[in-house]
Amino acid sequence: MTSHCDLDAALKDFSGLAPLFPLPNVVLFPNALLPLQIFEPRYRQMTADALEGERMIAMSLMRPGWDTLPSDAAAPVHRIVGLGKIIAHEKLPDGRYFLVLRGLARASLLSEQRVDLPYRIGQLEICSDIVIDQPSFNRESRAEELVAQFGRMFPEVKLQQLFAEAVSDLPLATVCDVLLGSLPLPSELLQQFLDELNVDTRSGMLLTLLQNATQRSPNPMGRTFPPDFSSN
């Protein structure tokens, strides 16, 4: 038997419509925090409109080949997107915005609305995590192992104990997504994790990736933690 995880309370009255923010290198996971710098005029308007409305933005990863399209063409995006809510923002004197999005849920892009706006609007269906009854492993132990492996990715940053304390009472699905939101992995690989709704499968994929990476080198990502602001 399978069950579906409860959705974030912030989605209780979600209309199902959200601005699409297509980027070639950003994937937003539930429970992750994503800092963004908004400078293109169309996305400044998107941000202003979002702040006046539900404060939701759907981060959508562009599919390979987007850079060969005409400049006025709508870039194709992956069907599963990361729906986030603006939890902090600052508008600069020159019109740019600094934002922090909090990931709320995976969502399936059902269609795009035809609107007279410079940015795209998606009709979304929220995707719940799938949890199988009676797994073949202990989920709490796997969560602990994931955190331990993550700590080995950044040995120069003393985060392992803090992470262990922070996620000790969180379900496996949340642990996976929090870690994935912090890992500097290729965007297409991160999208594979976003696409996977089965929590046990996702956690197994992540554990294998971390184990393989730490066996190759002490700092296999070659980058620092935490990540910097992303720009549109």
In the predicted model, is pLDDT for residue 221 greater than 60? Answer: no
Q: Please give the pLDDT value at position 216.
A: 65
In the predicted model, is pLDDT for residue 160 greater than 80? Answer: no
Alpha carbon distances (Å) from 15 to 12, 67, 100, 203: 9, 32, 21, 30
Average pLDDT, the chain: 87
Q: Please give the pLDDT value at position 220.
A: 47
Range 2-128: architecture per CATH: Roll (2.30)
**Parallel, antiparallel, or unpaired: how do β-strands 80-91 and 120-127 relate?**
unpaired
Q: Please give the pLDDT value at position 223.
A: 46
Binned at pLDDT 50, 70 and 90, residue 5 comes out as low
Give the position of tokens 């990863």: 61
Binned at pLDDT 50, 70 and 90, residue 59 comes out as very high
pLDDT tens profile 132-151: 888 889 999 999 899 888 88
Q: Measuring CA to CA, which residue among 105, 84, 129 is closest to residue 230?
A: 84
What is the C-alpha to C-alpha distance for residues 70 and 63, in angstroms, rounded to an integer? Answer: 15
Task: Name residue 107's beta-bridge partners.
Answer: 81, 126
223, 184 Cβ separation under 8 angstroms: yes
Q: What are phi and psi of 5, to 5 degrees?
A: -70, 150
CATH 2.30.130.40 spans which residues of the chain?
A: 2-128
Q: Please give the pLDDT value at position 53.
A: 95
pTM: 0.87
**Parallel, antiparallel, or unpaired: how do β-strands 130-132 and 120-127 relate?**
unpaired
1, 135 Cβ separation under 8 angstroms: no
What is the C-alpha to C-alpha distance for residues 35 and 75, in angstroms, rounded to an integer? Answer: 22
